[in-house]
């Protein structure tokens, strides 16, 4: 399942963003941020306590099931009066949730988290980005492993000179994706596809900002 991977902003930054905003309503989410322990029930409650200690008036808190869902405004409906009294909503969801709420409610929103990447849970407590949606997919020639995403430099023609014993030059604990691709193609007997010279990437494949309108059926 696709997961939005987030990290709590620093205390100083949250304090700065909430400066002059006295009455705060806190929103968490029951999906990705619950999994990553950044915006589930326990984190929302801890934030409530910490801000209360700093003298903020917490008008309420809730954890919606899926913050990025268009039904979120309905879920928040029952808190209408509390939110109306608030100077700001502190949103402990990924930026998709923050923007969904900002679009639906006429309220100042303050994100409490940074959204790092969209990835998947590849092991207990381990999350990895696997696709940056480049729009010109080449993994048919790289054994189903994506170098655009998983090579630190996004190289499409093979490893850089920094690769060492299968590890990446930026972090000896991170696998060099080109060693992984090589091993996989070797296993599959398809090493020839690593010899294909990939042209420079076509960045038009990735509309900036991404937008698509389906043609009428």
Partner 1 sequence: MVSAFKKALESGKFVVTCEAAPPKGTNLDRMAHDIELLKDKVDGINVTDHQSSVMRFPSLGGALLVKELGGEPILQMTCRDRNRLALQADLLFASYKGIHNVLCLTGDSIMLGDHKEAKSVFDLDSSQLVAVVRTLEEGKDTSGNDLDGGVSFCAGAIVTPEATPLEPQLIKFEKKIEAGAEFIQTQAVFDLDRFKEFMEYARQFQVKILAGIILLTSAPMARFMNKNIAGVFVPQDLIDEMASAPKGQALAKGIEIAGRMIRRIQEEKMCDGVHIMAIGKEDLVPEIMSVAGLI
Q: Which of 87, 129, 131, 166 binds partner 1 (CB under 8 A)?
A: 166
Residue with token string 């608030």:
86
Q: Does 152 bind ligand SF4 (CB under 6 A)?
A: yes
Q: Does 165 bind partner 1 (CB under 8 A)?
A: yes
Order the strands of the 126-128 sheet from edge to edge: 3-8, 113-123, 126-128
Binding residues for partner 1 restricted to 139-158, rule: CB under 8 A: 152-158
Residue with token string 């009294």:
85
Total residues interacting with ligand SF4, rule: CB under 6 A? 23
Looking at the Cβ atoms of 79 and 178, the one nearer to ligand SF4 is 178
Looking at the Cβ atoms of 189 and 200, the one nearer to partner 1 is 200
Cα separations (Å) of 39 from 13, 101, 127, 211? 17, 15, 16, 28
Q: Which of 66, 108, 138, 191 binds ligand SF4 (CB under 6 A)?
A: 138
With contact defined as beta carbons under 8 Å apart, do 32 and 119 qualify? no
Nearest to 156 by CA among 128, 187, 121, 132: 132
Please report how close the Cβ of residue 92 comes to ligand SF4 at its closest, in angstroms. Answer: 28
Please report how close the Cβ of residue 78 comes to partner 1 at its closest, in angstroms. Answer: 43
Residue with token string 């402990």:
92
Nearest to 143 by CA among 194, 175, 195, 185: 185
Binding footprint of ligand SF4 on the chain (CB under 6 A): 131-134, 137-139, 146, 148-149, 151-153, 155, 159-160, 162-163, 168-169, 176-178
């Amino acid at each position: 399942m696709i997961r939005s991977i987030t990290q709590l902003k620093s205390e100083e930054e949250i304090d700065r963003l909430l400066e002059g905003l006295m009455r705060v309503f806190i929103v968490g989410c029951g999906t990705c941020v619950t999994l990553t322990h950044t915006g589930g029930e326990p984190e929302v409650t801890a934030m409530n306590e910490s801000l209360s200690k700093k003298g903020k008036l917490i008008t309420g808190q809730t954890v919606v099931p899926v913050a990025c869902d268009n039904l979120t405004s309905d879920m928040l409906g029952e808190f209408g009066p509390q939110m109306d009294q608030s100077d700001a909503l502190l949103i402990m969801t990924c930026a998709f949730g923050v923007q969904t709420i900002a679009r639906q409610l006429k309220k100042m929103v303050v994100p409490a988290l940074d959204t790092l990447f969209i990835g998947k849970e590849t092991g207990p407590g381990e999350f990895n980005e696997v696709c940056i949606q480049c729009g010109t997919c080449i993994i048919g020639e790289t054994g189903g492993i994506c170098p655009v995403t998983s090579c630190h430099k996004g190289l499409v023609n093979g490893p850089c000179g920094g690769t060492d014993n299968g590890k990446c030059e930026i972090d000896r604990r991170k696998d060099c994706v080109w060693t992984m691709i090589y091993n996989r193609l070797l296993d599959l007997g398809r090493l020839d596809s690593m010899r294909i010279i990939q042209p420079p990437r076509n960045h038009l494949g990735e509309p900036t900002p991404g937008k698509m309108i389906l043609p009428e059926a």
